[in-house]
Structure 1
């Protein structure tokens, strides 16, 4: 007697995906995606925050980030990924994906993907934050003071 396994087949149809920004260690995943052991470590100082599709004028931003030791990052990632055999029984149709901004270690994954051990580490100082889209930016001033003795020391170890 022969035993037959009934496997479920899926079909997904995506007409349109619109995204303004995909931030650090984030993503849009369509289909069969294995994202294992992602990490993100960040320190961000913005004098005037993030802006999207706006008008900004007549502002003064002042960022003071004077530390002895600033943003020490110790990351010890262990990446192990086990997949199901014959996992490609699903079907994905994507008509359109529009993304304005992909940040560090961000992903737009369509289909069958192995995304193993992605890691991002950063320190950011900005008088004005992220500017996304249609920005009218006039007569603004920024000042950033970042006199550190040790600035953003990053120790990253990955074990597979």
Structure 2
């Protein structure tokens, strides 16, 4: 093996990663080679209030969420994943980060540092929020009323049956 490649693989780099908020099916991958195969997330959420950060004031909040579904979020995710490895000679990859700051990642988001092979990334989401999200500091909310009424017979049918082929290159 090449001495430069071996030195990069064994080196400890000064990396500082700070992530404040991540939602479903999100990721931060740091490395010489990142392989993601068949990453899936499915969710259904009824949030009567939502999310708050620190230093917030909520006063006299009334939240009502009604979701009388007959069939709630049927998910049919029969994916066919085809995985093929291709070997190649190792490249020289230098990753040197002083800092990586991610303030907010919404669903199905990613930060990839290095050689990344990603295949089959799915995310399906249905959310009913009576209030929503509140981010930041020193927010004030006074005398709010939130009503969320969602009387579906079939709520959020997801039919995600697909063929996902990927060719991944492996070092070594």
In the superposition, the TM-score normalised over structure 2's length comes to 0.48
How big is the shift at 1:152? 1.6
Partner of 1:128: 131
**How has the CA–CA distance of structure 1 residues 54 and 128 changed in structure 2, closer, same or farther, with 3 Å as cutoff?**
farther
Aligned equivalent of 1:143, options 118, 137, 147: 147
Contact 1:50 1:129 in 2 (8 A): yes
Match of 2:83 in 1: 81
Higher helix share: 2
Using the TM superposition, name which of 75-84 and 133-142 deviates more.
133-142
Q: How many pairs were matched up?
A: 155
**What is the alpha-carbon distance in structure 1 between the residues aligned to residue 138 and residue 45 of structure 2?**
21
Q: Does 1:153 align with 2:153?
A: no
User: Structure 1's 82 and 22: CA in aligned 2 closer, same or farther, altered over 3 A?
Assistant: farther
Task: Give the gaps of 5 or more residues in structure 1.
Answer: none
Q: Which residue of 1 aligns with 2:30?
A: 30
Q: Could you tell me how far 1:52 is from its partner in structure 2?
A: 3.6
Structure 1 residue 55 corresponds to structure 2 residue 56: yes
Alignment gaps of 5+ in structure 2:
165-172
Considering only aligned residues, what root-mean-square deviation do their CA atoms show, in Å? 5.5
CA contact (8 A) 1:52 1:135 kept: no
Relative to 1, partners in 2 of residues 1:14 and 1:132: Cα closer, same or farther, differing over 3 Å?
A: farther
Which of 122, 127, 146 is the equivalent residue of 1:119?
Answer: 122
Richer in strand (by share): 1
